[in-house]
Structure 1
Amino acid sequence: MAPWLVVIDWQAVCGFDPAQLQRVLLAELDNLMGGLSEHQEDDRLAGLPAPLRVMWLLSWLDFEVTHGSLLAYFYNSHGRHAALAEQALRDIGAVQMADVLMRARQSVDAENEQWAAQRAVLGLPHAVVRPYEGLPSGEALVGLTDLYWAAADEEDWGDKLDTFLLTAVQQEACRDDR
């Protein structure tokens, strides 16, 4: 068996509670995605089943925003998946959060060349070392981070993620039945 094949027995995890399921999915993601280059991550991500893909995208989004802000997310390597993370939020039903992430992405995209130039001067492709100074989107991302957390609270996104994962795992188990 190739090391990149998903080894989760979808039928076996169907009865897991959301916390157990997330632990299994995260462990599988560690095995599948750990130690890969950005290009390899991108290739592998495209082939992941929905429960794993959504879990990976939203785990990184949550990690970066929790430990920094949307600014940190866009300045670290996983911000390159913002459009995919936005779609993952829509897939789980967290539309307000997706809308905030879309606004943040549009703000960053509008200044993409200027951001890239300032990062290049630092010699670091993905690092929060104040390369955003003087860019309007840097300020915008601070305010959008507050809106993001307000939307997360209002939408109870954790419950939405749990519901999505339980349903997506059931769908994968049904595929295994064929």
Structure 2
Amino acid sequence: MRRRDARTWSRLRADNAAWLGPWEATLPRGGGQPATSYVGMIGTLRRRARMGQAMPFVLTWDDEMVGMLTVNGITWGSARWAALGYWVASSHAGRSITPTAVALVTDHLLTTVGLHRVEISIRPENAASLRVVDKLGFTEIGLAKRYLHIAGDWRDHRVFQLLAEDVPGGLVARLDRT
């Protein structure tokens, strides 16, 4: 993520506010202050990345920013897992950008980084995201009641995982076969 992408990112977020709003995390009352600017957001993400807690990625199409994928909650020790969150502009939905990005980042996490498990949590109503985990073969492990604060309330999420041993040949190879 580059500071000079601020205008593009702001335009994407404004143009896709209605498309992303039902799925975007919000802060509950007393939950602190959200990042108020793109520069503030990337500063926070870069700081968390340096500490080994997160990895931010920009999704592109023809060298144009069209979305974002963030690895959060990187946990080491005996757990060795992380959670993925992502969004893509409505104008680029359905082009396999998100499944490809999730596959590439998951392979990176399970091989190069050395994690054992990758998790994705999705609201039950989010059909587009559910197609992503279905296409990639993530395993549903349960329902997390009132898991994340979204649109002013605590929302349930379906939780999916992929383990390193689930994809010995890599997730990109699995996606290529489908």
- Provide TM-score, normalisation by structure 2: 0.31
**Larger RCO, structures 1/2 (Cα 8 Å, 6+ apart):** 1
Q: Which has the higher helix share?
A: 1
- Provide TM-score, normalisation by structure 1: 0.31
